[in-house]
Amino acid sequence: MTFENLLTSEINNILVITINRPDKLNALTKKTVEEIGSAIAYGKSSKDVRAIIITGAGTKSFVAGADIAEFVGLSVEQGKKLAQLGQGVFRQIETCPKPVLAAVNGFALGGGCELSMACHLRIASENAKFGQPEVNLGLIAGYGGTQRMIQYLGKTKATELHMTADTITADQALQLGLVNYVVPQEQLMAKSVELLDKIKSKSPKAITGVINSVNAYFEEGKDGFNEEIEEFGKCFATEDFKEGTTAFLEKRKAEFSGN
């Protein structure tokens, strides 16, 4: 895959997507968002890819927001279309059947915070900062930030952060439940790969079932308990279930095929 604003590589069947605009602190352009969607689609369809990491180039910034220069002069309808694009791509990440982890290597502001929250897991470097500063520009978050931050932080704190445009540190994000781990910058990718390697050792079918069931809790018109019943039932028809239960009874480590 060749992209204008992304770099891609694969480590241990993990697709690493790096947003590569370090001179702009990896700010998101419309083109970059579209390319992220294409890279996620590739990762979803590739038989060789078992998990995905999204990170930013350099050590200063994951994504320091959207490229505001693209916002100037937009009409109401054009603004809506831009938000629809961002929400569509980030929803693509959230519903990906393979685990997607944000390795947050610095500023995760505006669209960057929204991108990280669309991922299933987040690991932050010690210098990371999170926030939704859009009100400073006379805007609000448009790529799902008002909705997902409530899911992670609750209504009270999420509303405060959106209204004040305050940022929080990596340690504060950990305390609030926004990130899974905080590590030194030089350990960020190693920790990300370590966590995904652990997840990759489990049944891919079951991991997809976890993703679908957790997402259903927040989806309008869906009953998460019913989704769990459906996903639980599906497991019994898989080779992974047969292997997992057999391995347990034989007191050995299961070798899952993903079938």
**Mind telling me the catalytic residues?**
114, 134
Euclidean distance between CA atoms 222 and 38, whole angstroms: 27
Of the candidates 55, 71, 1, 56, the one whose C-alpha atom is nearest the C-alpha of residue 26 is: 56
Judge whether 120 and 212 are in contact, CB under 8 Å.
no
Of the candidates 2, 28, 25, 136, the one whose C-alpha atom is nearest the C-alpha of residue 85 is: 28
Report, in angstroms and rounded to the nearest whole number, the Rg of the chain calculated over CA atoms.
Answer: 19
Q: Show the beta-strand stretches assigned E in 127-177.
A: 129-131, 167-169
For residue 15, what is the enclosing H or E element? strand 14-19
β partners of residue 168:
130
Query: H-type helices in 66-203, by residue range?
Result: 76-94, 111-118, 145-153, 155-164, 170-176, 188-200
